[in-house]
Chain A
């Protein structure tokens, strides 16, 4: 009986993961001076990417993704289409309300829309949660750790070559999402790699086709009035 109890405790101990250790600067002055990596949108943007989907490391298909994201309201609209032009998925999220306008198989599963919107927010918006720790990893990379309301942890990391990573962990420290932003030219969202660790692991490799800031209607009206004067 004691043997079984010991075995259960051992399994439980090993199943609890720990978050990577962050070395915080000792002095408060140094801590304040440390700037958090922020590869996030500063204004409303429309981005179009090609998305290669992979499962078990194998390329499964290539689709086109359109994202309209506004960091000021944290609202997101998105669409997925085939190269042939067929819309497979279309949804929007505003004030926390998710509306799916179109979802064809295999994009019609119960959690797909929510997970997709969450992934988009993770890539493009600064974390909503509270900044818990900032410092460095042992390899020298700068990291800021946020705690989300649902118990998840988000690390935003900039390594010495200025490559940026965003990692989402569950409350028990299990890595759920890993995002790499590789700025090869111009735009920080030029190339995005997303690794999802779910029941079936998957990865997305996104390459930017076009990106354009979206002016609000109010700003557009003002600027057109000014140009008329």
Chain B
């Protein structure tokens, strides 16, 4: 259960970051307040992403491609297209994860769905841009060419799992550029977002069709 909480934190953190699509902010508490105000205007969101996993054992990063969809207040689809086909769908109080097996998508039965519900409740706060109000993380924000938010786990709940998370916001395009989830000195996951579209119509079937 604990593993799944942290596993889906990976997804959820990335999801949450997409809600911080905003103009440049300045360091300090006002910056977080500004994030909250601006994220309130987001009704739908969709983007492609490229995930690069780096580890000591890998000579080059393992690259995964995927796509993300969101409709306020709580429908989302986080989908990997390759190398492993998998999808997490949350819609109408139901959260499920599917993996590709024998030519079709089948439900993941490792018991992660229940844990995901808990995590999704947690990110409800992030959806509203409340990065600095999640008791699991200490949030700091730094201005500059690109704005960077750093989330550092509080206490022992994520000890040995996540060291810190770095979120980079683009100053020019006012969008999230990347998220870096650092597990330890030798292992991190970098997610770069592309073609981010805000408040563009999304067909509800995206949250119903698994394929």
A: residues with CB less than 8 A from B are 46, 48, 50, 52, 58-62, 64, 66, 68, 77-79, 81-88, 90, 102, 104-106, 209, 212, 214
Check B83–A59 contact: CB distance below 8 A.
no
* Residue in B59, B99, B189 whose CB lies within 8 Å of A85: B189
Question: Apart from A50-B83, A61-B99, A85-B189, what 17 extra A-B contacts exist at CB < 8 Å?
Answer: A46-B57, A46-B58, A61-B108, A62-B101, A64-B83, A64-B84, A66-B57, A66-B62, A82-B7, A82-B10, A84-B11, A86-B183, A102-B160, A105-B1, A105-B3, A209-B83, A212-B59
Enumerate chain A residues within 8 angstroms of B146, measured Cβ to Cβ.
none
- CB pair A58–B11 under 8 Å, yes or no, is no
- CB of B101 within 8 A of CB of A81, answer no
Minimum distance in angstroms from A193 CB to a CB of chain B: 12
Once bound together, how far apart are the Cα atoms of A86 and B53, in whole Å? 9
A61: nearest chain-B partner, CB-CB: B110
Q: Does B109 contact A (CB under 8 A)?
A: yes
Also in contact, A85 and B161, with CB within 8 A (given A62-B86, A62-B99, A66-B57): no
A86 to B183, CA, bound (A): 8
Task: Choose one: B6, B83, B109, B110; the contact of A86 (CB below 8 Å).
Answer: B6
Within the complex, the shortest CB–CB distance from B169 to chain A, in Å, comes to 21
Identify the interface centre among A50, A62, A64, A78: most chain B CB within 10 Å of its CB: A62
| B109 and A84 contact, CB distance less than 8 A | no
Which residue on A lies nearest to B86, using beta carbons?
Answer: A83
Enumerate chain A residues within 8 angstroms of B128, measured Cβ to Cβ. Answer: none
B89 at the interface (CB under 8 A from A): no
Interfacial chain A residues near B118, Cβ < 8 Å: none
Residues of B at under 8 Å CB distance from A? 1-3, 6-8, 10-11, 51, 53, 55, 57-59, 62, 64, 80, 83-84, 86, 99-102, 106, 108-110, 160-161, 181, 183, 187, 189
Given known A-B contacts A59-B106, A105-B3, A106-B3, A66 and B55 have beta carbons under 8 A apart: yes
Count A-B contacts at CB 8 Å.
89
Given known contacts A60-B110, A64-B62, A87-B187, is B53 in contact with A81 (CB within 8 Å)?
Answer: yes
Q: Are the CB atoms of B84 and A105 closer together than 8 Å?
A: no
**Dominant SS among interface residues on chain A:** strand
Interface CB pairs A-B, < 8 A, 22: A58-B109, A59-B102, A62-B84, A62-B86, A62-B99, A66-B57, A81-B53, A83-B80, A83-B84, A83-B86, A84-B7, A84-B10, A84-B189, A85-B64, A85-B189, A86-B7, A87-B55, A90-B55, A90-B187, A102-B160, A105-B1, A212-B59
For A78, A86, A209, the residue with the greatest tally of chain B CB atoms inside 10 Å of its CB is A86
Residues A83 and B64 in contact, CB atoms below 8 Å apart: yes
Query: Max chain B CB contacts within 10 Å: which of A83, A105, A209?
Result: A83
Closest beta carbon of chain B to A87's beta carbon, Å: 6
A85 touches B58 (CB 8 A): no
CA distance A199 to B99 in the complex (A): 26
A-B pairs, 10 with minimum CB distance: A85-B189, A62-B99, A59-B101, A61-B110, A83-B84, A84-B10, A83-B86, A85-B53, A104-B3, A209-B83
Whether A46 and B59, one on each chain, are in contact in the complex, defined by CB atoms closer than 8 angstroms, is yes
- Inter-chain CA distance A50–B82, complex, in Å, is 11
Interface hub of B83, B108, B160 (most chain A Cβ within 10 A)? B83
Bound CA–CA A62/B99 (angstroms): 6
Bound complex: CA of A139 vs CA of B53, how far in Å?
Answer: 46
Smallest CB–CB gap between B185 and chain A, Å?
A: 11
Bound Cα distance from A52 to B100, whole angstroms: 9
- Assembled-state Cα–Cα distance A78/B62 (Å): 14
Q: B84 near A50 (CB under 8 angstroms)?
A: yes
Alpha-carbon gap, A46 to B58, bound state (A)? 8
Known: A59-B101, A106-B3. A85 touches B51 (CB 8 A): yes
Question: Given A81-B53, A85-B53, A62–B183 Cβ distance below 8 Å?
Answer: no
